[in-house]
Structure 1
Protein backbone atom coordinates (compact mmCIF):
# COMPACT_ATOMS: atom_id res chain seq x y z
CA UNK A 1 0.00 0.00 0.00
CA UNK A 2 3.02 2.30 0.30
CA UNK A 3 2.89 3.27 -3.40
CA UNK A 4 0.06 5.68 -2.56
CA UNK A 5 0.34 9.08 -0.96
CA UNK A 6 0.24 8.49 2.78
CA UNK A 7 -1.55 10.58 5.41
CA UNK A 8 0.44 9.58 8.48
CA UNK A 9 -1.11 8.83 11.86
CA UNK A 10 0.56 11.81 13.51
CA UNK A 11 -1.74 13.96 11.35
CA UNK A 12 -4.70 13.23 13.62
CA UNK A 13 -7.28 15.25 15.51
CA UNK A 14 -9.93 14.57 18.16
CA UNK A 15 -13.07 16.25 16.87
CA UNK A 16 -14.64 17.94 13.86
CA UNK A 17 -13.72 21.56 13.26
CA UNK A 18 -13.74 23.33 9.91
CA UNK A 19 -10.97 25.56 11.23
CA UNK A 20 -8.43 22.71 11.22
CA UNK A 21 -5.97 23.21 8.39
CA UNK A 22 -5.85 20.46 5.77
CA UNK A 23 -2.71 18.32 5.84
CA UNK A 24 -2.90 17.72 2.09
CA UNK A 25 -4.80 18.88 -0.96
CA UNK A 26 -5.75 16.21 -3.50
CA UNK A 27 -7.37 16.08 -6.89
CA UNK A 28 -10.42 13.88 -7.50
CA UNK A 29 -9.29 10.41 -8.55
CA UNK A 30 -6.20 10.28 -6.35
CA UNK A 31 -5.57 7.27 -4.11
CA UNK A 32 -4.52 7.90 -0.52
CA UNK A 33 -3.36 5.71 2.33
CA UNK A 34 -4.64 6.77 5.75
CA UNK A 35 -2.62 5.50 8.72
CA UNK A 36 -5.31 5.13 11.37
CA UNK A 37 -4.75 4.88 15.10
CA UNK A 38 -7.02 2.64 17.17
CA UNK A 39 -10.01 4.13 18.98
CA UNK A 40 -8.09 4.38 22.25
CA UNK A 41 -5.54 6.62 20.61
CA UNK A 42 -2.79 4.19 21.59
CA UNK A 43 -3.76 4.09 25.26
CA UNK A 44 -4.46 0.34 25.12
CA UNK A 45 -1.99 -2.33 24.07
CA UNK A 46 -2.07 -6.10 23.55
CA UNK A 47 -0.83 -6.42 27.14
CA UNK A 48 -3.41 -4.12 28.74
CA UNK A 49 -6.01 -5.36 31.21
CA UNK A 50 -9.36 -4.01 32.38
CA UNK A 51 -7.72 -1.52 34.74
CA UNK A 52 -6.52 0.43 31.69
CA UNK A 53 -10.12 0.89 30.55
CA UNK A 54 -10.98 2.61 33.81
CA UNK A 55 -8.19 5.14 33.36
CA UNK A 56 -8.75 6.08 29.69
CA UNK A 57 -8.30 9.76 28.90
CA UNK A 58 -11.45 10.46 26.88
CA UNK A 59 -9.93 13.62 25.41
CA UNK A 60 -7.63 11.26 23.46
CA UNK A 61 -10.10 8.64 22.20
CA UNK A 62 -11.39 8.24 18.65
CA UNK A 63 -8.62 10.12 16.82
CA UNK A 64 -9.19 10.60 13.09
CA UNK A 65 -6.45 10.97 10.48
CA UNK A 66 -6.60 14.07 8.28
CA UNK A 67 -8.17 16.28 7.21
CA UNK A 68 -7.57 16.36 3.48
CA UNK A 69 -8.96 18.97 1.11
CA UNK A 70 -10.47 17.82 -2.20
CA UNK A 71 -9.96 20.19 -5.12
CA UNK A 72 -13.21 21.72 -6.33
CA UNK A 73 -15.43 20.40 -3.53
CA UNK A 74 -18.13 22.90 -2.59
CA UNK A 75 -21.28 22.83 -0.44
CA UNK A 76 -23.92 20.80 -2.25
CA UNK A 77 -21.37 18.38 -3.72
CA UNK A 78 -20.50 14.93 -2.37
CA UNK A 79 -17.10 13.41 -1.65
CA UNK A 80 -16.86 9.83 -2.91
CA UNK A 81 -14.63 7.47 -0.91
CA UNK A 82 -13.95 4.14 -2.62
CA UNK A 83 -12.42 1.75 -0.09
CA UNK A 84 -9.70 -0.33 -1.73
CA UNK A 85 -7.61 -2.16 0.86
CA UNK A 86 -6.69 -2.54 4.53
CA UNK A 87 -3.50 -3.59 6.30
CA UNK A 88 -3.70 -4.36 10.03
CA UNK A 89 -1.46 -5.06 13.00
CA UNK A 90 -2.86 -8.50 13.95
CA UNK A 91 -4.52 -7.75 17.28
CA UNK A 92 -7.46 -5.75 18.53
CA UNK A 93 -9.44 -5.01 21.66
CA UNK A 94 -13.07 -5.02 22.74
CA UNK A 95 -14.03 -3.14 25.89
CA UNK A 96 -16.99 -2.45 28.11
CA UNK A 97 -16.56 1.16 29.15
CA UNK A 98 -18.64 2.30 32.15
CA UNK A 99 -21.39 4.69 31.09
CA UNK A 100 -21.20 3.66 27.42
CA UNK A 101 -23.12 1.09 25.39
CA UNK A 102 -26.67 -0.18 24.90
CA UNK A 103 -26.80 -1.79 28.37
CA UNK A 104 -24.62 0.75 30.18
CA UNK A 105 -26.91 0.73 33.21
CA UNK A 106 -26.39 -3.03 33.63
CA UNK A 107 -22.66 -3.36 32.84
CA UNK A 108 -20.89 -0.86 35.07
CA UNK A 109 -17.50 -2.53 35.56
CA UNK A 110 -14.60 -2.02 33.10
CA UNK A 111 -13.92 -5.04 30.90
CA UNK A 112 -11.25 -5.62 28.25
CA UNK A 113 -10.75 -8.51 25.85
CA UNK A 114 -7.86 -8.90 23.38
CA UNK A 115 -8.36 -10.79 20.10
CA UNK A 116 -5.86 -11.82 17.43
CA UNK A 117 -6.65 -11.77 13.73
CA UNK A 118 -5.21 -12.41 10.28
CA UNK A 119 -6.68 -11.67 6.86
CA UNK A 120 -9.28 -14.44 7.16
CA UNK A 121 -10.31 -14.82 10.78
CA UNK A 122 -10.54 -13.18 14.17
CA UNK A 123 -9.73 -15.57 17.02
CA UNK A 124 -12.07 -14.16 19.66
CA UNK A 125 -11.64 -16.94 22.26
CA UNK A 126 -10.91 -20.66 22.02
CA UNK A 127 -13.77 -22.18 20.06
CA UNK A 128 -15.14 -18.88 18.68
CA UNK A 129 -13.85 -17.41 15.42
CA UNK A 130 -15.24 -14.51 13.40
CA UNK A 131 -14.61 -13.55 9.81
CA UNK A 132 -12.14 -10.68 9.48
CA UNK A 133 -14.06 -7.87 7.81
CA UNK A 134 -12.07 -4.63 8.19
CA UNK A 135 -13.71 -1.23 7.88
CA UNK A 136 -13.30 2.32 9.18
CA UNK A 137 -15.93 3.07 11.80
CA UNK A 138 -15.43 6.79 11.30
CA UNK A 139 -15.30 8.53 7.92
CA UNK A 140 -16.42 12.12 7.86
CA UNK A 141 -16.18 15.68 6.60
CA UNK A 142 -16.07 18.93 8.52
CA UNK A 143 -19.48 20.39 9.40
CA UNK A 144 -20.43 23.93 8.41
CA UNK A 145 -21.10 24.92 12.03
CA UNK A 146 -17.97 26.58 13.46
CA UNK A 147 -16.02 25.37 16.48
CA UNK A 148 -15.18 21.96 17.93
CA UNK A 149 -17.69 19.09 17.61
CA UNK A 150 -17.35 15.68 19.26
CA UNK A 151 -16.29 12.82 17.00
CA UNK A 152 -18.53 10.35 18.89
CA UNK A 153 -22.01 10.97 17.40
CA UNK A 154 -22.48 10.57 13.63
CA UNK A 155 -23.66 13.57 11.63
CA UNK A 156 -25.11 14.55 8.26
CA UNK A 157 -21.53 14.84 6.97
CA UNK A 158 -20.66 11.35 8.20
CA UNK A 159 -18.33 10.66 11.09
CA UNK A 160 -18.79 7.75 13.49
CA UNK A 161 -21.18 5.80 11.25
CA UNK A 162 -19.98 2.29 12.26
CA UNK A 163 -21.38 0.79 9.06
CA UNK A 164 -19.62 -2.55 8.82
CA UNK A 165 -20.55 -2.82 5.14
CA UNK A 166 -17.90 -0.18 4.36
CA UNK A 167 -15.23 -2.78 3.70
CA UNK A 168 -13.17 -3.54 0.58
CA UNK A 169 -14.97 -2.52 -2.58
CA UNK A 170 -17.59 -0.34 -0.89
CA UNK A 171 -18.08 3.30 -1.82
CA UNK A 172 -19.28 5.98 0.59
CA UNK A 173 -20.78 9.32 -0.45
CA UNK A 174 -20.66 12.20 2.02
CA UNK A 175 -22.42 15.57 1.61
CA UNK A 176 -20.06 18.55 1.55
CA UNK A 177 -20.79 21.51 3.82
CA UNK A 178 -17.51 23.46 3.58
CA UNK A 179 -15.12 24.18 0.71
CA UNK A 180 -12.74 21.27 0.16
CA UNK A 181 -14.84 18.93 2.29
CA UNK A 182 -12.01 18.31 4.81
CA UNK A 183 -12.11 14.49 4.95
CA UNK A 184 -10.77 12.46 7.89
CA UNK A 185 -10.76 8.69 8.61
CA UNK A 186 -10.48 6.76 11.88
CA UNK A 187 -11.82 4.11 14.28
CA UNK A 188 -10.86 1.04 12.24
CA UNK A 189 -12.32 -2.36 13.15
CA UNK A 190 -11.40 -5.97 12.31
CA UNK A 191 -14.97 -7.18 12.97
CA UNK A 192 -18.25 -5.80 14.29
CA UNK A 193 -21.89 -6.76 14.56
CA UNK A 194 -24.58 -4.37 13.36
CA UNK A 195 -25.31 -2.22 16.37
CA UNK A 196 -21.87 -2.42 18.08
CA UNK A 197 -23.98 -2.85 21.21
CA UNK A 198 -21.35 -2.77 23.98
CA UNK A 199 -19.86 0.37 22.43
CA UNK A 200 -16.75 -1.18 20.87
CA UNK A 201 -15.96 -3.64 18.08
CA UNK A 202 -12.66 -5.45 17.53
CA UNK A 203 -10.84 -2.12 17.68
CA UNK A 204 -7.48 -2.06 15.93
CA UNK A 205 -5.02 -0.11 13.82
CA UNK A 206 -5.35 -0.34 10.06
CA UNK A 207 -3.86 1.50 7.14
CA UNK A 208 -6.75 2.25 4.79
CA UNK A 209 -6.27 2.89 1.08
CA UNK A 210 -9.07 4.75 -0.68
CA UNK A 211 -9.70 6.46 -3.99
CA UNK A 212 -11.12 9.93 -3.40
CA UNK A 213 -13.66 11.30 -5.85
CA UNK A 214 -16.07 14.20 -6.23
CA UNK A 215 -19.72 14.26 -7.34
CA UNK A 216 -20.77 17.78 -8.26
CA UNK A 217 -24.26 18.92 -7.29
CA UNK A 218 -25.17 15.66 -5.53
CA UNK A 219 -27.22 17.45 -2.82
CA UNK A 220 -27.39 14.39 -0.58
CA UNK A 221 -29.52 14.66 2.57
CA UNK A 222 -27.15 12.36 4.52
CA UNK A 223 -24.42 9.75 3.87
CA UNK A 224 -25.13 7.07 1.30
CA UNK A 225 -23.12 4.04 0.17
CA UNK A 226 -22.99 1.16 -2.24
CA UNK A 227 -21.31 -2.22 -1.91
CA UNK A 228 -19.97 -4.93 -4.20
CA UNK A 229 -20.91 -7.80 -1.88
CA UNK A 230 -24.18 -8.92 -0.30
CA UNK A 231 -24.98 -7.26 3.00
CA UNK A 232 -24.57 -9.48 6.09
CA UNK A 233 -23.18 -12.38 4.10
CA UNK A 234 -20.09 -14.25 5.26
CA UNK A 235 -18.65 -17.75 5.38
CA UNK A 236 -19.92 -17.97 8.97
CA UNK A 237 -23.55 -17.87 7.80
CA UNK A 238 -23.64 -21.40 6.39
CA UNK A 239 -24.63 -23.02 9.71
CA UNK A 240 -27.63 -20.76 10.19
CA UNK A 241 -28.54 -18.35 12.98
CA UNK A 242 -30.09 -18.16 16.41
CA UNK A 243 -32.36 -15.13 16.78
CA UNK A 244 -33.71 -13.42 19.87
CA UNK A 245 -36.24 -10.60 19.74
CA UNK A 246 -37.45 -7.53 21.56
CA UNK A 247 -41.07 -6.47 21.08
CA UNK A 248 -42.59 -3.17 22.17
CA UNK A 249 -43.48 0.43 21.30
CA UNK A 250 -39.92 1.76 21.69
CA UNK A 251 -37.15 0.62 19.30
CA UNK A 252 -34.36 1.34 21.78
CA UNK A 253 -36.01 -0.69 24.53
CA UNK A 254 -36.78 -3.48 22.06
CA UNK A 255 -33.09 -3.50 21.08
CA UNK A 256 -32.09 -3.76 24.73
CA UNK A 257 -34.52 -6.63 25.28
CA UNK A 258 -33.24 -8.52 22.21
CA UNK A 259 -29.60 -8.21 23.31
CA UNK A 260 -30.39 -9.07 26.92
CA UNK A 261 -32.08 -12.27 25.69
CA UNK A 262 -29.08 -13.07 23.51
CA UNK A 263 -26.70 -12.62 26.46
CA UNK A 264 -28.85 -15.08 28.41
CA UNK A 265 -28.77 -17.53 25.49
CA UNK A 266 -24.98 -17.33 25.20
CA UNK A 267 -24.63 -17.97 28.91
CA UNK A 268 -26.99 -20.94 29.03
CA UNK A 269 -25.84 -22.69 25.85
CA UNK A 270 -22.18 -21.71 25.51
CA UNK A 271 -21.14 -21.03 29.09
CA UNK A 272 -20.09 -17.42 28.45
CA UNK A 273 -19.95 -15.01 31.37
CA UNK A 274 -22.29 -12.01 30.92
CA UNK A 275 -19.45 -9.57 30.14
CA UNK A 276 -17.94 -11.86 27.50
CA UNK A 277 -21.37 -12.56 26.02
CA UNK A 278 -22.11 -8.83 25.81
CA UNK A 279 -18.76 -8.23 24.10
CA UNK A 280 -19.45 -11.07 21.65
CA UNK A 281 -22.82 -9.53 20.82
CA UNK A 282 -21.02 -6.31 19.95
CA UNK A 283 -18.60 -7.95 17.52
CA UNK A 284 -20.72 -10.73 16.00
CA UNK A 285 -24.48 -10.24 16.52
CA UNK A 286 -26.53 -8.17 14.05
CA UNK A 287 -29.47 -6.10 15.25
CA UNK A 288 -32.27 -5.91 12.66
CA UNK A 289 -35.56 -4.07 12.60
CA UNK A 290 -38.19 -6.70 11.85
CA UNK A 291 -41.11 -4.32 11.46
CA UNK A 292 -42.18 -0.78 12.33
CA UNK A 293 -45.72 -0.83 10.94
CA UNK A 294 -47.80 -2.98 13.29
CA UNK A 295 -48.91 -0.36 15.80
CA UNK A 296 -48.39 -0.18 18.73
CA UNK A 297 -45.43 -2.62 18.87
CA UNK A 298 -42.28 -2.91 16.79
CA UNK A 299 -39.91 -5.90 16.51
CA UNK A 300 -36.12 -5.87 16.80
CA UNK A 301 -34.21 -9.10 16.14
CA UNK A 302 -30.70 -9.98 17.33
CA UNK A 303 -29.13 -12.43 14.87
CA UNK A 304 -26.27 -14.70 16.01
CA UNK A 305 -24.38 -16.67 13.31
CA UNK A 306 -23.97 -20.20 14.66
CA UNK A 307 -20.98 -20.75 12.40
CA UNK A 308 -18.69 -18.72 14.69
CA UNK A 309 -18.65 -21.66 17.14
CA UNK A 310 -16.08 -24.27 16.14
Structure 2
Protein backbone atom coordinates (compact mmCIF):
# COMPACT_ATOMS: atom_id res chain seq x y z
CA UNK A 1 0.00 0.00 0.00
CA UNK A 2 2.78 2.45 0.85
CA UNK A 3 4.36 2.10 -2.58
CA UNK A 4 0.98 2.61 -4.23
CA UNK A 5 0.37 5.82 -2.32
CA UNK A 6 3.72 7.23 -3.44
CA UNK A 7 2.45 7.62 -7.01
CA UNK A 8 1.12 10.99 -8.08
CA UNK A 9 -2.38 11.88 -6.93
CA UNK A 10 -4.85 14.56 -7.94
CA UNK A 11 -6.86 16.53 -5.42
CA UNK A 12 -10.21 18.04 -6.27
CA UNK A 13 -11.84 20.44 -3.80
CA UNK A 14 -15.32 21.92 -3.64
CA UNK A 15 -17.46 23.88 -1.17
CA UNK A 16 -21.04 22.74 -0.60
CA UNK A 17 -23.81 24.23 1.52
CA UNK A 18 -26.58 22.31 3.30
CA UNK A 19 -29.50 24.17 4.88
CA UNK A 20 -31.03 23.17 8.22
CA UNK A 21 -34.70 22.32 8.55
CA UNK A 22 -34.97 25.10 11.14
CA UNK A 23 -32.54 27.37 13.04
CA UNK A 24 -30.45 25.55 15.65
CA UNK A 25 -29.50 27.43 18.81
CA UNK A 26 -26.67 26.74 21.24
CA UNK A 27 -24.83 28.93 23.75
CA UNK A 28 -23.80 32.08 21.87
CA UNK A 29 -24.75 30.96 18.36
CA UNK A 30 -27.69 30.29 16.06
CA UNK A 31 -27.04 28.18 12.95
CA UNK A 32 -29.18 27.98 9.82
CA UNK A 33 -26.90 25.94 7.54
CA UNK A 34 -23.62 24.08 7.38
CA UNK A 35 -20.94 24.67 4.75
CA UNK A 36 -18.51 21.84 4.07
CA UNK A 37 -15.29 21.27 2.18
CA UNK A 38 -15.41 18.14 0.03
CA UNK A 39 -12.11 16.55 -0.97
CA UNK A 40 -11.74 13.99 -3.76
CA UNK A 41 -8.37 12.29 -3.95
CA UNK A 42 -7.71 10.24 -7.09
CA UNK A 43 -4.90 8.17 -8.57
CA UNK A 44 -6.62 8.15 -11.96
CA UNK A 45 -8.32 4.85 -11.28
CA UNK A 46 -9.85 5.06 -7.81
CA UNK A 47 -11.17 8.10 -5.95
CA UNK A 48 -11.42 8.63 -2.21
CA UNK A 49 -13.91 11.08 -0.69
CA UNK A 50 -13.87 13.09 2.51
CA UNK A 51 -15.78 16.00 4.03
CA UNK A 52 -14.90 18.66 6.59
CA UNK A 53 -17.27 21.09 8.29
CA UNK A 54 -14.66 22.88 10.40
CA UNK A 55 -15.10 24.21 13.93
CA UNK A 56 -16.92 27.57 14.10
CA UNK A 57 -15.36 28.58 17.44
CA UNK A 58 -11.87 28.30 15.93
CA UNK A 59 -12.68 30.45 12.89
CA UNK A 60 -12.35 27.32 10.77
CA UNK A 61 -14.87 28.31 8.11
CA UNK A 62 -15.12 27.39 4.42
CA UNK A 63 -12.63 30.05 3.35
CA UNK A 64 -10.06 28.91 5.90
CA UNK A 65 -10.52 25.21 5.06
CA UNK A 66 -10.14 25.84 1.34
CA UNK A 67 -7.01 27.95 1.88
CA UNK A 68 -5.37 25.29 4.05
CA UNK A 69 -6.20 22.57 1.53
CA UNK A 70 -4.79 24.59 -1.37
CA UNK A 71 -1.63 25.31 0.64
CA UNK A 72 -1.10 21.56 1.01
CA UNK A 73 -2.04 20.62 -2.56
CA UNK A 74 1.49 20.41 -3.99
CA UNK A 75 2.70 18.10 -1.21
CA UNK A 76 -0.36 15.88 -1.53
CA UNK A 77 -0.27 15.66 -5.31
CA UNK A 78 3.44 14.89 -5.31
CA UNK A 79 2.95 11.79 -3.17
CA UNK A 80 2.58 12.69 0.51
CA UNK A 81 1.04 9.81 2.45
CA UNK A 82 -1.82 9.93 4.91
CA UNK A 83 0.73 9.71 7.72
CA UNK A 84 2.67 12.64 6.21
CA UNK A 85 -0.53 14.69 6.31
CA UNK A 86 -0.21 14.97 10.10
CA UNK A 87 2.82 17.24 9.56
CA UNK A 88 1.82 18.78 6.23
CA UNK A 89 -1.45 20.30 7.50
CA UNK A 90 -2.72 21.76 10.78
CA UNK A 91 -5.60 20.07 12.53
CA UNK A 92 -9.04 21.20 11.41
CA UNK A 93 -11.77 20.65 8.85
CA UNK A 94 -9.49 20.71 5.79
CA UNK A 95 -7.18 18.03 7.15
CA UNK A 96 -10.20 16.02 8.21
CA UNK A 97 -11.63 16.06 4.67
CA UNK A 98 -8.32 15.06 3.10
CA UNK A 99 -7.38 12.51 5.77
CA UNK A 100 -10.73 10.79 5.27
CA UNK A 101 -10.28 10.91 1.49
CA UNK A 102 -6.98 9.07 1.96
CA UNK A 103 -8.68 6.40 4.06
CA UNK A 104 -11.42 5.98 1.46
CA UNK A 105 -8.88 5.76 -1.35
CA UNK A 106 -6.77 3.23 0.55
CA UNK A 107 -9.86 1.09 1.11
CA UNK A 108 -10.72 1.05 -2.58
CA UNK A 109 -7.18 0.44 -3.78
CA UNK A 110 -6.59 -2.40 -1.34
CA UNK A 111 -10.11 -3.88 -1.66
CA UNK A 112 -10.22 -3.78 2.14
CA UNK A 113 -12.82 -1.77 4.11
CA UNK A 114 -11.50 1.21 6.08
CA UNK A 115 -12.55 -0.26 9.42
CA UNK A 116 -10.31 -3.25 8.80
CA UNK A 117 -7.39 -1.09 7.62
CA UNK A 118 -7.73 0.92 10.85
CA UNK A 119 -7.79 -2.14 13.08
CA UNK A 120 -11.28 -1.30 14.32
CA UNK A 121 -14.13 -3.68 15.16
CA UNK A 122 -16.50 -4.55 12.34
CA UNK A 123 -19.11 -1.75 12.42
CA UNK A 124 -22.38 -2.41 14.22
CA UNK A 125 -25.34 -0.04 14.68
CA UNK A 126 -24.63 2.37 17.54
CA UNK A 127 -26.94 3.95 20.10
CA UNK A 128 -26.75 7.64 19.17
CA UNK A 129 -28.08 10.74 20.86
CA UNK A 130 -30.51 13.05 19.13
CA UNK A 131 -30.02 16.73 19.99
CA UNK A 132 -32.49 19.38 21.09
CA UNK A 133 -31.42 22.93 20.30
CA UNK A 134 -31.98 25.53 23.00
CA UNK A 135 -35.49 27.01 22.94
CA UNK A 136 -38.32 27.77 25.33
CA UNK A 137 -38.88 24.89 27.78
CA UNK A 138 -42.32 23.98 26.45
CA UNK A 139 -41.00 23.94 22.90
CA UNK A 140 -38.15 21.64 23.91
CA UNK A 141 -40.55 19.32 25.72
CA UNK A 142 -42.72 19.08 22.60
CA UNK A 143 -39.64 18.46 20.46
CA UNK A 144 -38.50 15.72 22.83
CA UNK A 145 -41.80 13.93 22.32
CA UNK A 146 -41.23 13.97 18.55
CA UNK A 147 -37.88 12.20 18.84
CA UNK A 148 -37.41 8.47 18.44
CA UNK A 149 -38.56 7.18 21.84
CA UNK A 150 -35.64 4.75 21.95
CA UNK A 151 -32.99 7.43 21.38
CA UNK A 152 -30.85 9.07 24.06
CA UNK A 153 -31.32 12.85 24.20
CA UNK A 154 -28.72 15.61 24.23
CA UNK A 155 -30.00 19.00 25.44
CA UNK A 156 -28.32 22.27 24.50
CA UNK A 157 -27.97 24.86 27.27
CA UNK A 158 -27.16 28.57 27.00
CA UNK A 159 -25.66 29.56 30.36
CA UNK A 160 -28.83 31.14 31.75
CA UNK A 161 -29.06 28.97 34.87
CA UNK A 162 -32.72 29.48 35.75
CA UNK A 163 -33.88 29.01 32.17
CA UNK A 164 -31.58 26.05 31.60
CA UNK A 165 -32.96 24.30 34.69
CA UNK A 166 -36.49 24.83 33.38
CA UNK A 167 -35.40 23.40 30.02
CA UNK A 168 -33.92 20.30 31.65
CA UNK A 169 -36.96 19.70 33.83
CA UNK A 170 -39.34 20.15 30.89
CA UNK A 171 -37.47 17.58 28.81
CA UNK A 172 -37.27 15.15 31.72
CA UNK A 173 -41.01 15.49 32.37
CA UNK A 174 -41.70 14.79 28.69
CA UNK A 175 -39.30 11.85 28.51
CA UNK A 176 -39.17 10.31 32.01
CA UNK A 177 -37.22 7.22 30.97
CA UNK A 178 -34.74 8.67 28.46
CA UNK A 179 -30.98 8.90 28.86
CA UNK A 180 -30.31 12.64 28.93
CA UNK A 181 -27.03 14.52 28.60
CA UNK A 182 -26.59 18.28 28.42
CA UNK A 183 -24.13 20.45 26.50
CA UNK A 184 -23.27 23.91 27.81
CA UNK A 185 -20.91 24.83 24.92
CA UNK A 186 -18.66 26.87 27.26
CA UNK A 187 -21.64 28.86 28.58
CA UNK A 188 -20.99 28.69 32.35
CA UNK A 189 -18.61 30.04 34.95
CA UNK A 190 -17.42 27.89 37.83
CA UNK A 191 -19.44 29.78 40.47
CA UNK A 192 -22.71 28.95 38.68
CA UNK A 193 -22.05 25.23 38.36
CA UNK A 194 -23.18 24.06 41.82
CA UNK A 195 -26.74 25.27 41.25
CA UNK A 196 -26.85 23.77 37.78
CA UNK A 197 -25.39 20.46 38.93
CA UNK A 198 -27.92 20.10 41.73
CA UNK A 199 -30.69 20.39 39.16
CA UNK A 200 -28.96 17.97 36.78
CA UNK A 201 -28.62 15.35 39.49
CA UNK A 202 -32.27 15.78 40.51
CA UNK A 203 -33.34 15.37 36.86
CA UNK A 204 -31.16 12.25 36.47
CA UNK A 205 -28.99 13.84 33.79
CA UNK A 206 -26.04 11.58 33.02
CA UNK A 207 -23.49 13.85 31.30
CA UNK A 208 -22.47 17.51 31.37
CA UNK A 209 -20.48 18.54 28.32
CA UNK A 210 -18.06 21.50 28.22
CA UNK A 211 -19.44 23.66 31.03
CA UNK A 212 -16.60 26.22 31.07
CA UNK A 213 -14.85 28.28 28.42
CA UNK A 214 -11.59 27.15 26.83
CA UNK A 215 -8.72 28.30 29.01
CA UNK A 216 -10.60 27.79 32.28
CA UNK A 217 -9.94 24.06 32.61
CA UNK A 218 -7.87 24.61 35.77
CA UNK A 219 -10.98 25.97 37.49
CA UNK A 220 -12.12 22.35 37.66
CA UNK A 221 -9.13 21.23 39.75
CA UNK A 222 -10.56 19.72 42.91
CA UNK A 223 -14.13 20.48 41.82
CA UNK A 224 -16.65 17.78 42.75
CA UNK A 225 -18.22 16.16 39.69
CA UNK A 226 -21.39 14.31 40.78
CA UNK A 227 -22.03 13.35 37.14
CA UNK A 228 -19.44 12.80 34.38
CA UNK A 229 -18.02 15.90 32.70
CA UNK A 230 -17.11 15.69 29.00
CA UNK A 231 -14.45 17.86 27.36
CA UNK A 232 -15.36 19.10 23.89
CA UNK A 233 -13.91 22.49 23.00
CA UNK A 234 -11.20 21.85 25.63
CA UNK A 235 -10.15 18.68 23.78
CA UNK A 236 -9.06 19.76 20.31
CA UNK A 237 -6.43 17.11 19.64
CA UNK A 238 -4.19 14.38 20.98
CA UNK A 239 -1.88 16.88 22.70
CA UNK A 240 -4.75 18.05 24.94
CA UNK A 241 -5.71 14.67 26.37
CA UNK A 242 -3.15 14.43 29.18
CA UNK A 243 -4.24 17.78 30.64
CA UNK A 244 -7.86 16.66 30.92
CA UNK A 245 -7.20 13.95 33.48
CA UNK A 246 -8.74 14.83 36.84
CA UNK A 247 -10.78 17.65 35.34
CA UNK A 248 -13.00 15.71 32.94
CA UNK A 249 -14.23 12.15 32.75
CA UNK A 250 -14.95 11.84 29.04
CA UNK A 251 -13.23 13.12 25.88
CA UNK A 252 -15.54 14.15 23.04
CA UNK A 253 -13.69 13.46 19.79
CA UNK A 254 -14.78 15.34 16.68
CA UNK A 255 -12.87 14.73 13.47
CA UNK A 256 -13.26 18.37 12.43
CA UNK A 257 -11.39 19.46 15.56
CA UNK A 258 -8.57 16.94 15.55
CA UNK A 259 -8.13 16.80 11.78
CA UNK A 260 -9.34 13.38 10.72
CA UNK A 261 -9.84 9.73 11.54
CA UNK A 262 -6.10 9.10 11.90
CA UNK A 263 -5.79 11.38 14.93
CA UNK A 264 -9.29 10.56 16.16
CA UNK A 265 -8.34 6.92 16.64
CA UNK A 266 -5.13 7.94 18.41
CA UNK A 267 -7.10 10.17 20.81
CA UNK A 268 -9.58 7.40 21.62
CA UNK A 269 -6.85 4.91 22.38
CA UNK A 270 -4.84 7.35 24.50
CA UNK A 271 -7.89 8.51 26.48
CA UNK A 272 -8.83 4.91 27.23
CA UNK A 273 -5.28 4.16 28.35
CA UNK A 274 -5.56 7.08 30.79
CA UNK A 275 -8.79 5.68 32.21
CA UNK A 276 -11.11 8.20 30.55
CA UNK A 277 -14.32 7.55 28.67
CA UNK A 278 -14.57 8.43 24.99
CA UNK A 279 -17.34 10.02 22.99
CA UNK A 280 -17.65 10.75 19.29
CA UNK A 281 -19.47 13.88 18.15
CA UNK A 282 -19.96 15.86 14.97
CA UNK A 283 -20.00 19.41 13.61
CA UNK A 284 -23.31 18.97 11.76
CA UNK A 285 -21.98 17.67 8.45
CA UNK A 286 -23.65 15.29 6.03
CA UNK A 287 -23.46 11.51 6.08
CA UNK A 288 -20.08 11.78 4.39
CA UNK A 289 -18.86 13.36 7.64
CA UNK A 290 -20.68 10.82 9.81
CA UNK A 291 -19.28 7.72 8.06
CA UNK A 292 -15.68 7.88 9.36
CA UNK A 293 -16.96 9.05 12.76
CA UNK A 294 -19.21 5.99 12.79
CA UNK A 295 -16.12 3.80 12.55
CA UNK A 296 -14.53 5.70 15.43
CA UNK A 297 -17.78 5.28 17.32
CA UNK A 298 -17.12 1.56 17.52
CA UNK A 299 -14.49 2.43 20.17
CA UNK A 300 -16.67 4.93 22.04
CA UNK A 301 -18.82 4.87 25.16
CA UNK A 302 -21.12 7.70 23.99
CA UNK A 303 -22.12 8.40 20.39
CA UNK A 304 -23.55 11.68 19.08
CA UNK A 305 -23.83 11.36 15.30
CA UNK A 306 -27.12 13.04 14.49
CA UNK A 307 -25.89 15.83 12.19
CA UNK A 308 -27.83 14.76 9.07
CA UNK A 309 -31.12 14.78 10.96
CA UNK A 310 -30.96 18.61 10.99
CA UNK A 311 -30.49 18.99 7.22
CA UNK A 312 -33.14 19.62 4.59
CA UNK A 313 -31.24 17.17 2.37
CA UNK A 314 -28.46 14.64 2.83
CA UNK A 315 -26.29 12.68 0.45
CA UNK A 316 -27.81 9.62 -1.25
CA UNK A 317 -27.32 6.35 0.60
CA UNK A 318 -26.51 8.10 3.85
CA UNK A 319 -26.79 7.07 7.47
CA UNK A 320 -30.05 5.76 8.86
CA UNK A 321 -31.57 6.20 12.32
CA UNK A 322 -33.98 3.71 13.85
CA UNK A 323 -34.71 2.18 17.25
CA UNK A 324 -32.40 4.72 18.86
CA UNK A 325 -29.41 3.66 16.77
CA UNK A 326 -27.40 5.04 13.87
CA UNK A 327 -26.21 2.80 11.05
CA UNK A 328 -23.88 3.72 8.19
CA UNK A 329 -23.30 1.47 5.20
CA UNK A 330 -19.80 1.39 3.69
CA UNK A 331 -21.33 2.28 0.31
CA UNK A 332 -21.10 5.99 1.14
CA UNK A 333 -17.52 5.89 2.45
CA UNK A 334 -14.79 3.49 3.48
CA UNK A 335 -15.93 0.50 1.46
CA UNK A 336 -13.81 -1.61 -0.83
CA UNK A 337 -15.77 -0.76 -3.99
CA UNK A 338 -16.09 2.40 -6.04
CA UNK A 339 -18.46 5.18 -4.99
CA UNK A 340 -20.72 6.24 -7.83
Structure showing the higher helix proportion among its residues? 2
Q: TM exceeds 0.5? A: no
Q: Give the TM-score, by structure 2 length.
A: 0.21
Structure showing the higher strand proportion among its residues? 1
